[in-house]
Structure 1
Amino acid sequence: MKLIVMSDNHGDKETVKAVSSLPADAHFHCGDSELPYEDETLASMIRVGGNCDIYSKYPDEVVKSINGKTILAVHGHKHNVKSSLMELYYRAKEKNADIVLFGHSHLYGAEMKDGILFVNPGSTMLPRGGNEPTYAVIEWDETPVVTFKNMGHQVVESVEIKKI
């Protein structure tokens, strides 16, 4: 399974086009696109609303089953992800999620907790922490591998997630 995930492009359509055109089983946008829900640029993406999305058609969360994995996508602002992943962890448990996708902090990262993979793709426009703009590629066959790429599609960091 291959998923491509982006977040926090804050109105920039070019980054959405660049990321959504890549081959994958599914494309996710974790909010703060600042584009209307119906915008054709987002048409191929599974999307949620963020704190900067003013259009009411955006759902707060989406749960999808793809290749036998249950995926929960949120923005993260309603789960206080800048402070802790605990609220999001409990929501993932409620939804029986295998993978949780979220944004909001503009910081990329991935971790496994109790068999649940949490991935924040970072921001394609306004990254924080001295990072460059990123999106995430999740490949999960035997073991999940999360690769963060810049807008030139070059690898910034790649992490093979192993259960301990």
Structure 2
Amino acid sequence: MVSDTHGDKQILRMIAKQQQPDADGYFYCGDSELPADDEIFETYQPVTGNMDFDPAFPLTRTADFPGLKVFMTHGHRFNVNWTLDVLIQAGREAHADLVLFGHTHQLGVEQHDHMIVLNPGSISQPRGEFAPLHGTYATVDFDDKTITVQFHTRDGQVVDKLTRTFTR
């Protein structure tokens, strides 16, 4: 999953085609600044961000994989700059195993009652402690017992010290 490219469509192509070509799903957590009918969204499942002005983008999205339910939003309408409580409640109401969001431009992952809440960070305009990585995206692997999150730099390198495996 990727978030907050702010017009950098080329990085989305690169991630999908060169760095993560075998993913089961590609999620875009908002702020592309592209139209909803852009061809890149034939690959990525997007939601709207506060810098997306095409009303065709959905505010939230859910996706089901065998053994995993995903809930995604950008986060600007869920108060994520101040608390994750509203987002966590929305994830619970969606019966999600994995909640994806962006907006803050800061990567992070944590577990709440067996639900993983994940912000991949901004691939183009990172902020916070991990801004020196110059942009990140995340991948998720799961089975019936664990969910593993890896953060990657723009060139696809795994940031090993940030890898987390959670028990389901």
* 8 A Cα contact 1:48 1:61, kept in partner: yes
Residues 79-158 of structure 1 mapped to structure 2, 5 A cutoff: 79-129=78-128, 130-131=130-131, 132=133, 133-141=135-143, 142-156=145-159, 157-158=162-163
Q: How many residues align?
A: 159
Moved more, 73-82 or 149-158: 149-158
Q: 5+ unaligned residues in a row in structure 2: which ranges? A: none
* 8 A Cα contact 2:107 2:119, kept in partner: yes
Q: Kindly report the root-mean-square deviation, in angstroms, between the aligned alpha carbons of the 2 structures.
A: 1.1
Moved segments of 4+, more than 6 Å: none
Aligned residue number for residue 15 of structure 2: 19
> Aligned-pair distance for 1:161?
1.8
Aligned residue number for residue 160 of structure 1: 165
Give the structure with the higher percent strand: 1
TM-score normalised by length of structure 1: 0.93
> Aligned-pair distance for 1:70?
1.2
**Structure number with higher relative contact order (C-alpha < 8 Å, ≥ 6 residues apart):** 1
Q: 5+ unaligned residues in a row in structure 1: which ranges? A: none
Percent of matched pairs sharing the same residue: 38
* 8 A Cα contact 2:114 2:167, kept in partner: no
1:94-144 C-alpha deviation (Å, 9 max, x unpaired): 111111000000011111100111110001100001522000001112311
Instruction: Give yes or no for the alignment of 1:65 onto 2:92.
Output: no
TM-score normalised by length of structure 2: 0.91
